[in-house]
């Protein structure tokens, strides 16, 4: 593991320093894991078939304008039927691992209660075929797709009732698949779920101040985020208490982390950059590491930020064997106070920018928000290492996107990887 740490950091350091390197699989140490990732709702299709109940995205996408061309996930790539083809493709590409999520409403149509045998058997087939082809499963329990029935019953992540329901779902998955799955993640990107689901209405369930589904952008992201981290911690406790010793696996959480760099080296922009880091990664890593929210958040959000009880703090602190970091790009940050309205986004008192003095922060990929910034990747990983007591880190997602007609030069895209990658390190 120490060799792995040294080589990973050396590779990132070369990228950060702008060295002209030709990286290949041979550049990485033996045991380095390369993989790809998806979410259940993105790839499975058959969203209302084979006993699966609707999730919040099925309801959200009924309203025009939620996606380009009003697309839904009723078909997608139909991995439910074509999982063998997908795994065969992973083998041909040379991947070692596949990070996929389990659809909660495919296992429990009503969120809790009687399980759906068709759904349970599908994941058995997928996992068994992966293992037969030497593809290691990395399983995410929750990737944005809450069963719609729980949203209707008690407003989903806005209610503390979701915590024991998620814990029961997690318990079932550990018991059912844990004899073959040794790499678990509770939740993918809880910050994105809390903000876009309850702050700007961009994700299901589409709540925000002024949104068609109602909401309050100043309070609900923090409430949802609080229940997400409590649900994560409760699931981890179940795994550790009942399954980890005999199943010999690990469990963690996946957190998104754009790197934030001050636009200028003034005190104002330095502080704004600190706030950006605390309101994103720190929102979840600080409780997991220290048992409470960052002081910066508590000071700026005040009573709108929920508090952990002493018991909850004990539950949350240390609730991860491994931290998954999903990193894509880097932003410049400058101080900016928005006094027109109160929300999670304005609480940072920061503005995000892609260029400094007319010079882009990096080469732009296909998406408008995605710039290739290798040194930001290095700084992001080192920030997690140095600020949060050197946790075991896994790069859960990284890379760039391109249009279907683009042909990218190998050397120019190498720093970001090809698609998504899974690389275990202690960096």
Model confidence pLDDT, tens digit, residues 349-359: 999 999 999 99
Q: Count H helices, E strands: the chain?
A: 18, 15
Q: Cite the beta strand spans of 354-422 per DSSP E.
A: 355-356, 359-360, 363-364, 371-372, 393-397
pTM of the model: 0.90
- Count the Cβ atoms, other than its own, within 10 Å of residue 305: 19
Residue-wise pLDDT tens digits, 39-49: 999 999 999 89
Q: Reply yes or no on domain 32-256 having CATH 3.20.20.80.
A: yes
Res 242 pLDDT > 70: yes
**Residue percentage of the chain with pLDDT more than 70:** 90
- Is the four-CA dihedral 215, 219, 225, 226 of positive or negative sign? negative
Tokens of 384: 């997690």
Cα(167)–Cα(76) distance, integer angstroms: 29
Read off the pLDDT of residues 304-342 as tens digits, 9 standing for 90 and up: 999 999 999 999 999 999 999 999 999 999 999 987 889
Decide if 39 contacts 144 (C-beta within 8 A). Answer: yes
* Catalytically annotated residues: 189, 397
What does the block give as tokens for 33? 């894991």
Count Cβ atoms below 10 Å from residue 250 Cβ, excluding itself. Answer: 18
The tens digit of pLDDT for each residue in 275-314 reads 999 999 999 999 999 999 999 999 999 999 999 999 999 9
pLDDT at 66: 83
Mean pLDDT of 388-399: 96
More confident residue, 254 or 16: 254
Domain with CATH 3.20.20.80 in the chain: 32-256
Compute the distance between CA of residue 193 and CA of residue 187 in angstroms, rounded to an integer: 10
């Amino acid at each position: 593991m120490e060799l792995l740490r040294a080589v990973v950091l050396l590779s990132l350091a070369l990228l950060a320093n702008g060295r002209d390197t030709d990286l290949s699989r041979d550049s990485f140490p033996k045991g380095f894991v390369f993989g790809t990732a998806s979410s259940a709702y993105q790839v499975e299709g058959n969203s209302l078939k084979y006993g699966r109940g609707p999730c919040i995205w099925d309801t959200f996408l009924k309203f025009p304008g939620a996606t380009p061309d009003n697309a839904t996930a009723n078909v997608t790539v139909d991995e439910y039927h074509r999982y063998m083809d997908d795994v065969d493709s992973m083998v041909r590409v040379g991947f070692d691992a596949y990070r996929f999520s389990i659809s909660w409403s495919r296992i429990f149509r009503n969120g809790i209660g009687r399980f759906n045998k068709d759904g349970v058997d599908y994941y058995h087939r997928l996992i068994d075929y992966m293992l037969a082809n030497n593809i290691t499963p990395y399983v995410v329990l929750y990737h944005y797709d809450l069963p719609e029935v729980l949203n209707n019953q008690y407003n989903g992540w806005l209610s503390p009732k979701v915590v024991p329901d998620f814990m029961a779902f997690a318990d079932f998955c550990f018991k059912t698949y844990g004899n073959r799955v040794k790499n678990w993640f509770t939740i993918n990107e809880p910050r994105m779920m809390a903000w876009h689901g309850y702050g700007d209405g961009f994700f299901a369930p589409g709540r925000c101040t002024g949104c068609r589904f109602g909401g309050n952008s100043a309070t609900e992201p923090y409430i949802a985020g609080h229940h997400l981290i409590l649900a994560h911690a409760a699931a981890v406790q179940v795994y550790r208490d009942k399954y980890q010793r005999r199943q010999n696996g690990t469990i963690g959480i996946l957190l998104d982390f754009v790197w934030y760099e001050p636009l200028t080296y003034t005190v104002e922009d330095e502080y704004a950059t600190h706030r950006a880091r605390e309101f994103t990664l720190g929102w979840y890593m600080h409780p997991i590491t220290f048992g409470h929210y960052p002081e910066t958040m508590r000071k700026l959000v005040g009573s709108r930020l929920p508090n952990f009880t002493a018991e909850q703090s004990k539950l949350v602190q240390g609730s991860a064997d491994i931290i998954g970091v999903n990193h894509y790009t880097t932003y410049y940050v400058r101080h900016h106070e928005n006094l027109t309205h109160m929300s999670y986004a304005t609480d940072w008192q920061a503005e995000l920018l892609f260029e400094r003095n007319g010079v882009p922060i990096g080469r732009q990929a296909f998406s408008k928000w995605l710039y290739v910034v290798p040194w930001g990747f290095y700084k992001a990983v080192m920030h997690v290492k140095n600020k949060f007591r050197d946790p075991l880190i896994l790069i859960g997602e990284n890379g760039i996107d391109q249009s279907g007609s683009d042909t990218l030069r190998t050397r120019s895209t190498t720093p970001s990887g090809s698609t998504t990658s899974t690389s275990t390190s202690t960096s």
